Chains A and B, each alone.
Chain A
């Protein structure tokens, strides 16, 4: 400010009257506030739209239609030798079981007095899921004693019948559908009225394994959830100690020179490397070079560890840097060694930040799909893995890959399954974030 400007007398004015300059500034501020509010509004609207569309599509995956009828497990069909030897009974394939179920359904409908107008026995069988005979067979082989008895069975209804009760399939759409006829749907309606068909919560979706493209009604997430869980276990066990140790060394002990500068730049860059590159790396190193099995959670976990490490290191270093240097001075001034200063005073103060970073890293890893495709986790896996540690080497699927897989299948019933799987994935992420918040609260000491 020059002297001349400082000495220019201000024009006399009332503070009640807003002058032009002030008006302009106020208008600018109002505009900026409006922009901010609009931006937040768009964000919230996008989020709401996303959640509503996913939940709207996906909640049906958590309900499933079952047909409950008494079935006579005829001995001459299931155990022709009559000796209840599971090895011999295993020779009867699902094709031996299917007619049994169809017959039982037909008899039950007759007994209930429900007419089967326009539905021939083959169509009637098609109303039961192809998965049902396999389930009954597994049940019989596990417990041969029930052969010869008449027991009440809950069987999965076919995908189209299930869709009818979820409003996915209508009488009109059935006319154009070669897989289902309006007559079958009418019959299903009558069966529902008689209490033979009902729709209820679908535990199988969460606990059961995946099913083939023709049996969407049987598809579940069990293997994928376990696979994702195993991978998170591997990531947590490897990435947390390695990441925290690396950060503490770099931040507190390493000398500041060209070498550590290069490491620092590289860590920051690694965080931005596309995840599929980590997949290629994993394929080359862990599978081709180290010879680890394909589709195994251990390989997925290792790849995701590599991917998560930079995130954890960056977050941990930021948390360590945020601890005031006066605390370090205080400890060192008392004659604490550098390590005592770090582990007794700095690390506890940095803990909330470290945990948040780790959980954000884990959440990122949980949702990662691309690198898993390259190491074979996209395979169709129905076998549950063993308990860890052996199970880490068994083939599994993963949640995001399962979503990817299901969206590629042709049967429209998989749309709801994929959305349902997304809901499960989101619930997992929300739970992890809640955990992060809780741990933060717990460790954060505002003294």
Chain B
């Protein structure tokens, strides 16, 4: 896992997907995120790296308003999804989250069958007109999450009975099934073993062809392997945001350099 080689992948598109300006987040009186500006591009994997407690997960959760579920959390600033302010009074966070899907740190499949796990999103959003459509969505999503071959014979089996890596891929399939435009991943591999991690990373790279993926990770190697853009957070501030190659080979900020060389964090 000491592979610090930066995978050289061309960024396919230059379209701006999410544009965050002057974002501040407060937990009660704690100032968790301080004036962050990030532009996230479409069909790109953007990695947020930084030491524990630096606010990278908090910022990620601002992007689909998951922070709304925390009473004491307050977000200010301007976050736009394709030019539309996601914190606008008219925006229903429920609708937003259908467009901006999320995969969590710990695999959290519903205690239902594999099929029902994947079908849940399409069902509540009314994406499938009939059973055949739904079956197709489920199959496509599972294939996209590289899980289809492993589970196609036991779609009725409980999702919680799968292995950790399979569960996480099931969660990815579940998020993909809703047809999001952006996929947020909060340390998706931190509970997985190296083999499962490799599978999920490969998957993330494939997902890039259709979505804009934002991944929070503890592991710099992972950021180097899967992302095209990297943002380094430290103590609630965005220290540096640039092409991954640039960050890992030629960081501008001394703090970034200290972090990627292992001196802080």
Hey, which bits of chain A sit against chain B, CB under 8 A?
255-256, 324, 326-337, 340, 344-345, 349, 445, 447
Please tell me if B29 contacts chain A, counting CB pairs below 8 Å.
no
Which of B101, B109, B112 interacts with A333 by CB under 8 Å? B101
Q: Which B residues are CB-close (under 8 A) to A255? A: 71
Please tell me if B124 contacts chain A, counting CB pairs below 8 Å.
yes
Q: Which B residues are CB-close (under 8 A) to A331? A: 110, 120
Report if A334-B66 is in contact (Cβ < 8 Å); known contacts: A255-B71, A256-B71, A447-B160: no
Q: Name the distance in Å between B42's Cβ and chain A's nearest Cβ.
A: 20
Q: Name the distance in Å between A264's Cβ and chain B's nearest Cβ.
A: 15
Q: Which A residues are CB-close (under 8 A) to B111? A: 327, 349, 445, 447
Please tell me if B4 contacts chain A, counting CB pairs below 8 Å.
no
Q: Would you call B104 and A334 a contact (CB within 8 A)?
A: no
Bound together, the chains give a CA A337 to CA B94 distance in angstroms of 6
Q: Would you call A345 and B108 a contact (CB within 8 A)?
A: no
Secondary structure call for the A interface: helix
Q: Would you call B69 and A330 a contact (CB within 8 A)?
A: no
Bound together, the chains give a CA A333 to CA B172 distance in angstroms of 11
Q: Which B residues are CB-close (under 8 A) to A324? A: 108
Q: Would you call A332 and B69 a contact (CB within 8 A)?
A: yes
Q: Would you call A335 and B110 a contact (CB within 8 A)?
A: no
Interface size of B by Cβ–Cβ distance < 8 Å?
A: 32
Bound together, the chains give a CA A340 to CA B93 distance in angstroms of 14
Most A Cβ at <10 Å: residue of B104, B108, B161: B108
Report 24 cross-chain contacts, Cβ distance below 8 Å, ordered by A residue. A326-B106, A326-B108, A327-B108, A327-B110, A330-B108, A330-B110, A331-B110, A332-B66, A332-B69, A333-B101, A334-B121, A334-B124, A335-B95, A335-B97, A335-B98, A335-B101, A335-B125, A340-B124, A344-B124, A445-B111, A447-B112, A447-B158, A447-B160, A447-B161
- Least CB separation from B125: chain A residue: A335
Q: Would you call A344 and B120 a contact (CB within 8 A)?
A: yes
Bound together, the chains give a CA A330 to CA B110 distance in angstroms of 8
Bound together, the chains give a CA A344 to CA B94 distance in angstroms of 15
Q: Which A residues are CB-close (under 8 A) to B125? A: 335
Bound together, the chains give a CA A340 to CA B120 distance in angstroms of 11
Q: Which A residues are CB-close (under 8 A) to B159? A: 447
Bound together, the chains give a CA A328 to CA B66 distance in angstroms of 11
- Least CB separation from A334: chain B residue: B121
14 extra interchain contacts, Cβ-Cβ under 8 A, other than A334-B98, A334-B174, A335-B98? A326-B104, A328-B69, A329-B104, A330-B104, A331-B110, A332-B66, A333-B101, A334-B175, A334-B178, A335-B96, A335-B97, A335-B99, A344-B120, A344-B124
Report if A334-B101 is in contact (Cβ < 8 Å); known contacts: A256-B71, A327-B108, A447-B111: yes
Report if A333-B124 is in contact (Cβ < 8 Å); known contacts: A256-B71, A447-B161: no
Please tell me if B230 contacts chain A, counting CB pairs below 8 Å.
no
Interface string of B87-118 (1 = CB under 8 A from A): 00000001111110111101011111000000
Q: Name the distance in Å between B138's Cβ and chain A's nearest Cβ.
A: 14
Bound together, the chains give a CA A109 to CA B169 distance in angstroms of 90
Most B Cβ at <10 Å: residue of A332, A333, A340, A349: A333
Bound together, the chains give a CA A326 to CA B66 distance in angstroms of 12
Which of A333, A345, A349 interacts with B66 by CB under 8 Å? A333
Q: Name the distance in Å between A254's Cβ and chain B's nearest Cβ.
A: 10
Q: Name the distance in Å between B28's Cβ and chain A's nearest Cβ.
A: 12
Q: Name the distance in Å between B66's Cβ and chain A's nearest Cβ.
A: 7
Report if A335-B106 is in contact (Cβ < 8 Å); known contacts: A447-B160, A447-B161: no
Q: Would you call B124 and A336 a contact (CB within 8 A)?
A: yes
- Least CB separation from A333: chain B residue: B102
Q: Which A residues are CB-close (under 8 A) to B106? A: 326
Q: Which A residues are CB-close (under 8 A) to B109? A: 330
Q: Name the distance in Å between A357's Cβ and chain B's nearest Cβ.
A: 20
